[in-house]
Structure 1
Amino acid sequence: MNPLVSCIITTHNRAELLKNALRSVREQTHPYLEIFIVDDGSEDQTPEICQAWTREDSRIRYIRVPYPKGANHARNVGISQANGKYIAFLDDDDEWMPDKIKTQAEVLERTQESFTFCSKYLAYTNEQHQVVKRKLSVEPRDVIRYEDLLTFNWIGETSKIMVLTSLAREVRFDENLTSAQDYDFYLRILKRGYIAVNVKEPLVDINIHSGPRISTSTTAKYKGQRKIILKYYNDMSKEQKRRQLHHYRMLEWSRNTVRNNVYLKKALSLYPWWKDWVLLKRNTKIMMQGFLMRFHARRAVGTYTEEPVRMKLK
């Protein structure tokens, strides 16, 4: 019940945030850890700080990628170096609760499954990286299967998961994706017949801060969502295709008012969830996220498309 777990922290130019992330790993109650900090070409004080940490704690290993190649590449570097039975990933701006590794490792050992995820807190922070508000987010289902995941990424961020190391080596992250890398990673795992076991206990703080984050880049989301749809389109049901295409089209934004209204009309007519009470009750959260992403697209300079969407339901 105490397997070695490889904790992989990926980082890029976030020395101050990284301190909190690493602290949360070093304070884990699970007794057997190895900690990899994979630095994706940072140009701040990250190398000096990490090298000092390796002298303080023998469990820590610092790996520097000379030039930035993205979080996917950094995670794959960590996967290739891992010696543990299981791997847990942590983004440098997130933090784990002290029992995160212990709880998930016990679940995988007890169930003999290969993949698990947990609930989270959305932790809103100020400029001093202090949490000012926390919001609980729990996925109610006990397990997630491939058919479930084709509708939406119910699992969430990589900071929430733990996966069998041998399975992670087989699958790895797609380094060609600009966004939705985690979603694609989960889909390829579950498509092999595995299930994602849900540890409903909130074991992660996903920090919402004012710094650069992939989740606030609408251009990256737009490109990533398109690739996900094209890659898994034939496996989706008709309703799943409609929801995924709705999600994709809600990211379209044009500075031309007429064209922009056409984009919005296409998105809403594709999936008229407001006309059906069952759909409304089931999908309000997802659709609200779509409107929020559209709001981000409107605010972000250059994150829009002038090209018509040519993908249609078949």
Structure 2
Amino acid sequence: MENGDKLVSIIVPVYNAGAYIEETIAMVRTQSYQNWELLLVDDCSSDDSRTKIQRCMEDAGGKVRLIAKSVNEGAARARNTGIAEAKGRYIAFLDADDVWMADKLARELAFMEKKQAAFVFTAYEFGDEKAKPTGKVVHVPETICYKQALSRTVIFTSTVLIDTRQTGKELILMPDVKSEDTAAWWRILRKFTGYGLDEVLTIYRRPPRSLSSNKVEAVRRIWNLYRREEKLPFLYSLYNLFFWALRATLRRL
């Protein structure tokens, strides 16, 4: 590794990601910032994900690691396994089907150091099922606090970078609930300000699916987070849900 103090641990939960995983590994390997380790946490895939990962590891110089779980436990616990195994000071999350620009890590790490931030995220663009950019960009604010995050949907998991020297690892572990990433960001934002880099450095791949059913499920999940996890009062939950839904709708127009 170039500099252990600036090592970025990239955590990718893998479940039946054979269609994308080789592309994902190749994409990370071509990052302009090269001081990274890639932790691929396979959550008992039934396809050829593990075989493809093992093939890609052969000439990776030990920078690509496969963590093979024996029990399928979902994305939250897969990410937590990666966090526990991470050797880097910095942790970045990446979903197996999303795409990073070549200078994503370099630009975001420089931004984090400039702001002396513990938690940063970036703008992103929606892509189609082939990750071709659609022109729909989600811009991000310069800063965000806990109360603001309750009613906003701007933090996308594959754009997040965390400095564990400031946060520690326990704070960033994801709870075993639906929308676990959102719950984790809220917990972090209770203690740290989030900083947004308004540059598109990630493509969010969206395969065809039933948008109406996803929207209903998303509302149910966020409501449960308000009431069960955050213990927010009923009316305050309604207030946040209204603006959360409004912004989520505008984001997709």
Q: Which category of TM-score, normalised to the shorter sequence, fits these structures?
A: 0.7 to 0.9
Shift in Å at residue 219 of structure 1? 6.7
- Matching residue of 1:100: 104
Q: CA deviation at 1:9?
A: 1.3
Work out whether residues 37 and 60 of structure 1, in 8 Å CA contact, stay in contact via their aligned partners in 2.
yes
Q: Which secondary structure does the structure 1 equivalent of 2:198 belong to?
A: strand
* Distance in structure 2 (CA, Å) of the matches to 1:109 and 1:132: 29
What is the DSSP-based 3-state SS (H/G/I as helix, E as strand, rest coil) of the residue aligned with 1:15? coil
Match of 2:43 in 1: 40
Q: TM-score when scaled to structure 2?
A: 0.86
User: Which consecutive segments of 4 or more residues in structure 1 shift more than 3 A?
Assistant: 172-175, 215-220, 233-236, 243-248, 285-290
| 2:182 counterpart residue number | 183
Structure whose CA Rg is larger? 1
Please tell me whether the aligned partners of residues 119 and 162 of structure 2 are also in contact (alpha carbons under 8 angstroms): yes
State the Cα distance separating 1:142 from its structure 2 match: 0.8
1:8 pairs with 2:7: no
Alpha carbons of structure 1 residues 287 and 120: separation in structure 2 relative to 1, 3 Å: closer
Q: 1:28 to 1:191 in 2, by over 3 A?
A: same
1:147 and 1:121 map into 2 onto residues whose CA distance is 25
How has the CA–CA distance of structure 1 residues 37 and 115 changed in structure 2, closer, same or farther, with 3 Å as cutoff? same
Given the alignment, which residue of 120, 126, 131 partners 1:122? 126
The yes-or-no answer on 1:18 pairing with 2:21 is: yes
Partner secondary structure for residue 99 of structure 2: strand
* Residue 233 (structure 1) shift: 4.4
- Going by fraction, where is helix more abundant, 1 or 2? 1
Partner of residue 162, structure 2? 163
Q: Which runs of 5+ in 1 are unaligned?
A: 251-282, 293-314
> Please, which of 242, 246, 264 is the counterpart of residue 238 of structure 2?
242
Partner of 2:222: 225
Alpha-carbon spacing, 1:17–1:108, altered in 2? closer, same or farther (3 Å): same
Alpha-carbon RMSD across the aligned residues, in angstroms, is 2.9
Structure 2 unaligned runs (5+)?
none
How many Å separate the matches in 1 of 2:173 and 2:22? 25
**Structure with the greater relative contact order (CA < 8 A, sep ≥ 6): 1 or 2?**
2
Task: Give the TM-score of the pair, scaled to structure 1.
Answer: 0.70
Alpha-carbon distance change, 134 to 19 in structure 1, aligned in 2, over 3 angstroms: farther
Counterpart of 2:12 in structure 1: which amino acid? I
Determine helix, strand or coil for the equivalent of 1:43.
Answer: coil
The separation in 1 between residues aligned to 2:213 and 2:163, in whole angstroms, is 30
Label 1:137 to 1:197 Cα distance change in 2 as closer, same or farther (>3 A). same
Q: Who is 1:148 aligned against?
A: 148
Tell me if structure 2 keeps the 8 A contact 1:233–1:241.
no
Percent of residue pairs identical: 25
Which of 71, 75, 85 is the matching residue for 1:71? 75
**Structure 2 vs 1, CA of residues 66 and 6 (structure 1 numbering), >3 Å: closer, same or farther?**
same
Q: CA–CA distance in 1 between the matches of 2:213 and 2:95?
A: 15
Deviations 1:283-311 (A, max 9, x none): 5x445579x9xxxxxxxxxxxxxxxxxxx
Q: Which letter maps to 2:128?
A: Y
- Checking the alignment, whether the CA contact within 8 Å between 1:38 and 1:62 is kept in structure 2 is yes
Report how far residue 173 of structure 1 moved: 3.6
* Residues 161 and 216 (structure 1), Cα distance of their counterparts in 2 relative to 1, 3 Å cut: farther
Structure 2 distance, partners of 1:152, 1:235, is 18
